[in-house]
């Protein structure tokens, strides 16, 4: 187990290193003088010279990279060009909103996806199976911004039950307000996730329900409900865990589109507004943090998976 | 190498493809019949295909088909709902939405076609190479693909678009780059399993060279998962292009891209729900149709593409 853990930890190093190189090079890949990329076009000659010194743009690229990595490792992601605030602080400010949205999204996705997957697997081929298959195909095909706009249209504009633009209200401060403010983006993303989860649950349940031990249990007279929900689902939940983990990691990195549909102040909107303002220092820092979070959550998922399924401990990736 | 051996090997490799040695022409002649039988079995896919054909024809012939010039303003009738003269309504400048959606289809379909063609060839060849030469070069290719997959797709696309600037080509390049790794992975997996087949081994022992083995024997037999993947990639490309345009990072106004139209329409939800809704519905129908065809192909040929559909993220 420890060996596997060490092996997996080693595997994320090249990903993080490559991501850091990519993120570092971003400023240099934008056409034009990198100093102007950082300062913006209206910078004074003084400001430009200061940035050139600070960022070490007169140094060779390798030296710049090593300097930058040293600063990043010590927690200094630079300062935003627009607000002048430290990038690390901006990210830390937005993180709670994104975490709350991710938890709400996964709760909705699991609450819909697992029952839907179980029902379709246990009634394979029936009309309800086909209807639910249609549901998951639809949830994967409708873009989140279409779902979001329809949601705003129905609940914000027509019924006027919810605000048309959402905001971040911490759940601990005001549970009712938090639900009202988060339900729009959470439902929009949760609808998408529920389709993914339903498909995976169905696929792995269909596989498990065909196995010998289920046939044996059925022959022994175990009731159909207990068979599906206890015997089979326990085995089928493992592959589902992986897909849930990947989705969890993706949403923790912020949902660029959904957050911007609802004006939800998470990491996704931070990255998007930084890109639109050409605030590349913020883009650099936020993208790096998001990639690291995503990689770590994937690692955690894998470790959890192998912990629950001892057969995989020595596994290698394809 | 003696001639009879060569023929035997050739015959074996073609037989495994499901056709006999003279099968090329016969397959072509019966192609339409086979397609009809397939479409009769897969009715939803046939409906989806008709929709896509209709959409493609409309997009290609847009200047002829569209009732109005997509840029022609009519300030006398702004933000109108569907009517006989404007079946999809009008936007904030009185432009005909049906015409804009038809012209917008050109952008979506072009992005999908370019992304699938380039990502499919680059990813397919990289995967073929990685599967054929398993050692260092193969491992290097796959580690790089792993890296591309290790970054959330939309984030990578947006970062690429941010660096390259706004517009049709930056968005298309971004969408293409993130479509490559799925093709490479599938091609490699498919090549690895095909390599073990007896007909490949016998072609090899008959003395076939590397390029013959790679391109004539293994690749044609490893192709069907890639065709299924092409449908997933096309749907994802259309979604991502629309998302980038929606965020203001793709094709810029006044170009009538579906995503741009929805972003603009969102500001006028209180005045006209149709403005944002119509491009959204056509976009959804398009993606849904491509997915439907993809799933039908998957049932016919097998293969697993679930992972990449799930990776669309948000």
ipTM: 0.83
Closest alpha carbon to A106 in A200, A223, A245, A5: A245
Question: What span, in angstroms and rounded, lies between the C-alpha atoms of B103 and B83?
Answer: 20
Residues of A in contact with B283 (CB under 8 A): 143, 146
| CA distance to A149, A151, A195, B291, per residue, from A138 (Å) | 16, 16, 8, 9
Question: What span, in angstroms and rounded, lies between the C-alpha atoms of B191 and B219?
Answer: 7
A positions 235-294 inside 8 Å of B (CB): 243, 246-247, 249-251, 253, 255-258, 260-261, 271-272, 275-276, 280, 283, 287, 290-291, 294
CB pairs under 8 A between A and B: 141
Q: Which of B152, B269, B292 sits opposite A153 (nearest CB)?
A: B269
Q: pLDDT digit string (tens) for A253-277?
A: 878 899 989 989 999 999 998 888 8
| Span A118-130, average pLDDT | 89
Q: Which CATH number fits domain B3-309: 1.10.3720.10, 1.10.3480.10, 1.20.120.1780, 3.10.580.10?
A: 1.10.3720.10
Q: Which residue of B has its CA nearest to A249?
A: B152
Residues of A in contact with B280 (CB under 8 A): 143, 145-146, 149-150
Question: What span, in angstroms and rounded, lies between the C-alpha atoms of B236 and B112?
Answer: 8
Q: Is B141 on the interface with A (CB under 8 A)?
A: no
Residue A132 pLDDT:
92
| Span B243-272, average pLDDT | 87
pLDDT higher than threshold 70 for residue A292: yes
Q: Domain limits at A266?
A: 87-204+236-317
Contact (Cβ atoms closer than 8 angstroms) between residue A246 and residue A301: yes
* Entry pTM: 0.84
Residue A262, in any domain of the structure: yes
Overall domain count for chain A? 1
Residues of A in contact with B273 (CB under 8 A): 153, 157
- Tell whether the torsion through CA atoms of B184, B185, B186 and B192 is positive or negative: positive
Residue A115 pLDDT:
92
Asked if B151 and A318 come within 8 Å (Cβ–Cβ), the reply is: no
pLDDT higher than threshold 70 for residue B97: yes
Q: pLDDT digit string (tens) for B229-254?
A: 898 899 999 999 999 999 888 888 88
Q: pLDDT digit string (tens) for A197-211?
A: 998 888 888 888 888
Closest alpha carbon to A230 in A207, A212, A210, A205: A205
Residue A96 pLDDT:
92
Asked if A14 and B143 come within 8 Å (Cβ–Cβ), the reply is: yes
Residue A38, in any domain of the structure: no
pLDDT over 90, % of chain A = 21
Which helix (H) or strand (E) element contains residue B263?
A: helix B258-266
Write the burial class of residue A274 (CB in 10 Å: 0-12 exposed, 13-18 middle, 19+ buried): buried
Confidence of residue A59 (pLDDT cuts 50, 70, 90): confident
Instruction: Check which CATH number belongs to the domain holding A260 and give it.
Output: 1.10.3720.10
- How many Å lie between the alpha carbon of B273 and the closest alpha carbon of chain A? 7
Selected residue with higher pLDDT from B245 and A32: B245
Asked if A189 and B314 come within 8 Å (Cβ–Cβ), the reply is: yes
Asked if B150 and A150 come within 8 Å (Cβ–Cβ), the reply is: no
Asked if A295 and B150 come within 8 Å (Cβ–Cβ), the reply is: yes
Mutate to test the interface with B, among A11, A27, A149, A155 (most CBs of B within 10 A): A149
Question: What span, in angstroms and rounded, lies between the C-alpha atoms of A199 and A201?
Answer: 6
pLDDT higher than threshold 50 for residue B126: yes
Closest alpha carbon to B161 in A269, A283, A295, A24: A283
Residue B238 pLDDT:
93
Q: pLDDT digit string (tens) for B197-225?
A: 888 888 888 888 888 888 888 888 878 88
| Span B35-48, average pLDDT | 84
Q: Which residues have a Cβ under 8 Å from the Cβ of A2 and sit 6 or more positions away? A: none
Residue B307 pLDDT:
45
Closest alpha carbon to B220 in B5, B6, B34, B24: B24
- How many Å lie between the alpha carbon of B281 and the closest alpha carbon of chain A? 8
Residue A221, in any domain of the structure: no
Q: Which of B155, B239, B306 sits opposite A143 (nearest CB)?
A: B239
Residue B241 backbone phi and psi in degrees, to 5? -60, -45
Mean of the per-residue pLDDT values for chain B?
81
Confidence of residue B6 (pLDDT cuts 50, 70, 90): very low
Residues facing residue B90 across a β-bridge: B96
| Span A46-69, average pLDDT | 80
Closest alpha carbon to A154 in A107, A187, A201: A187
A positions 97-126 inside 8 Å of B (CB): none
pLDDT higher than threshold 50 for residue B3: no
Contact (Cβ atoms closer than 8 angstroms) between residue A188 and residue A251: no
Residue B96 backbone phi and psi in degrees, to 5? -75, 120
| Span A97-126, average pLDDT | 92
Asked if B248 and A144 come within 8 Å (Cβ–Cβ), the reply is: no
């Amino acid at each position: 187990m420890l060996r596997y853990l060490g092996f997996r930890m080693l595997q994320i190093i090249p990903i993080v290193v490559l991501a850091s190189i990519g993120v570092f090079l971003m400023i240099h890949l934008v056409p034009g003088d990198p100093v102007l990329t950082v300062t913006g076009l209206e910078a004074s000659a003084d400001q430009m010279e200061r940035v050139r010194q600070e960022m070490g743009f007169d140094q060779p690229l390798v030296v710049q990279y090593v300097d930058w990595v040293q600063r990043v490792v010590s927690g200094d992601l630079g300062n935003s060009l627009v607000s002048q605030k430290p990038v690390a602080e901006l990210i830390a400010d937005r993180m709670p909103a994104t975490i709350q949205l991710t938890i709400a999204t996964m709760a909705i996705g699991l609450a819909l996806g697992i029952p839907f997957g179980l029902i379709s697997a246990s009634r394979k081929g029936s009309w309800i199976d086909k209807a639910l298959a249609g549901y998951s195909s639809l949830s994967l095909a409708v873009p989140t911004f279409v779902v979001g706009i329809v949601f705003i249209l129905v609940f914000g504009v027509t019924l006027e039950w919810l605000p048309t633009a959402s905001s971040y209200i911490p759940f601990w401060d005001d549970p009712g307000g938090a639900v009202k403010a988060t339900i729009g983006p959470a439902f929009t993303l949760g609808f998408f996730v529920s389709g993914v989860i339903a498909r995976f649950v169905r696929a792995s349940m269909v596989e498990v329900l065909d196995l010998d031990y289920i046939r044996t249990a059925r022959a022994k007279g175990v009731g159909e409900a207990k068979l599906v929900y206890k015997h089979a689902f326990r085995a089928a939940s493992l592959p589902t865990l992986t897909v849930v983990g990947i989705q969890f990691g993706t949403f923790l990195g912020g949902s660029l589109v959904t957050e911007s549909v609802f004006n939800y102040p998470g990491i996704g909107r931070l990255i998007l507004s930084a890109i639109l303002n050409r605030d590349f220092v913020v883009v650099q820092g936020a993208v790096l943090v998001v990639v690291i979070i995503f990689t770590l959550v994937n690692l955690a998922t894998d470790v959890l998976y192998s912990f629950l399924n001892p057969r995989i401990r020595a596994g290698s990736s394809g | 190498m003696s001639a009879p051996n060569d023929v035997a090997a050739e015959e074996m490799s073609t037989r495994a493809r499901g056709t006999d040695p003279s099968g090329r022409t016969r397959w072509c002649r019966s192609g339409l019949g086979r397609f009809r039988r397939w479409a009769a079995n897969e009715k939803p896919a046939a409906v989806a295909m008709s929709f896509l054909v209709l959409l493609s024809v409309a997009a290609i012939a847009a200047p002829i088909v569209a009732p109005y010039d997509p840029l022609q303003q009519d300030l006398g009738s702004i933000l109108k709902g569907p009517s006989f003269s404007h079946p999809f309504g009008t936007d904030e400048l009185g432009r005909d939405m049906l015409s804009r959606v038809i012209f917008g289809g050109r952008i979506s379909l072009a992005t999908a076609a370019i992304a699938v063609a380039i990502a499919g060839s680059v990813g397919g060849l990289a995967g073929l190479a990685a599967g054929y030469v398993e050692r260092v070069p193969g491992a290097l290719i796959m580690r790089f693909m792993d890296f591309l997959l290790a970054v959330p797709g939309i984030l990578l696309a947006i970062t690429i678009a941010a660096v390259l600037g706004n517009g049709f080509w930056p968005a298309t390049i971004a969408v293409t780059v993130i479509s490559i790794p799925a093709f490479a992975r599938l091609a490699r997996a498919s090549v690895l399993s095909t390599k073990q087949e007896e007909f490949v081994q016998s072609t090899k022992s008959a003395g076939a060279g590397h390029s013959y083995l790679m391109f004539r024997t293994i690749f044609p037999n490893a192709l069907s998962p890639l065709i299924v993947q092409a449908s997933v990639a096309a749907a994802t490309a259309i979604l991502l292009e629309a998302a980038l345009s929606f965020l203001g990072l793709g094709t810029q106004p006044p170009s009538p891209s579906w995503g741009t139209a929805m972003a603009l329409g969102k500001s006028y939800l209180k005045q006209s729900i149709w403005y944002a809704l119509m491009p959204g519905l056509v976009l959804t129908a398009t993606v849904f149709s491509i997915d439907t065809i993809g799933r039908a192909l998957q049932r016919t040929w097998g293969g697993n593409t679930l992972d990449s559909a799930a990776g669309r993220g948000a």
